């Protein structure tokens, strides 16, 4: 069974530039999460989707971050414009209902 797929794995951009991350969850998993992980810290939730609906986006900085999950399958997380403090690893995870999360490899963003 294929796991959670994320791309790109690495991205280096100048501040104020836009960036987008893509995630394809495990087939059949209705719940999709985007997490942010800073060095030496645990993942922090940005947004959670149940099928196509964003059911919790309270921690998403909406002035510069946006996300979508069209057709309830894959998802895109966008940052525009990026700031120096956005440098981190962006993790996508999926689950079947409320059971354990399965994570992708992550997308490491460096903002210069």
Tell me how far apart the alpha carbons of residues 24 and 32 are, in angstroms, rounded to a whole number: 9
Nearer to another protein, 19 or 93 (CB): 93
What is the C-alpha to C-alpha distance for residues 25 and 103, in angstroms, rounded to an integer?
A: 9
Considering only residues 20 through 79, tell me which ones interact with another protein, judged by CB under 8 A.
33, 40-45, 48, 56
Q: Which residue in 19, 75, 86, 106 binds another protein (CB under 8 A)?
A: 106
Cβ atoms of 9 and 89 closer than 8 Å: no
Q: End-to-end distance of the chain based on CA atoms, in angstroms?
A: 37
CB of 55 to another protein, least distance (A): 9
Residues that bind another protein (CB under 8 A): 4, 33, 40-45, 48, 56, 91, 93, 98-106, 108
């Amino acid at each position: 069974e294929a796991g959670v797929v994320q791309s790109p794995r690495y991205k280096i951009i100048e501040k104020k530039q836009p960036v987008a991350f893509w995630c394809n969850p495990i087939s059949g998993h209705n719940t999709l999460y985007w997490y942010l992980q800073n060095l030496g810290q645990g993942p922090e939730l940005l947004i959670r989707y149940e099928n196509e609906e964003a059911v919790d986006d309270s921690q998403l900085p909406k002035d510069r971050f946006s996300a979508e999950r069209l057709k309830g399958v894959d998802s895109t997380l966008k940052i525009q414009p990026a700031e120096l403090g956005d440098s981190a690893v962006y993790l996508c995870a999926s689950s079947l209902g409320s059971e354990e999360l399965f994570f992708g490899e992550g997308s490491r963003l460096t903002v210069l």
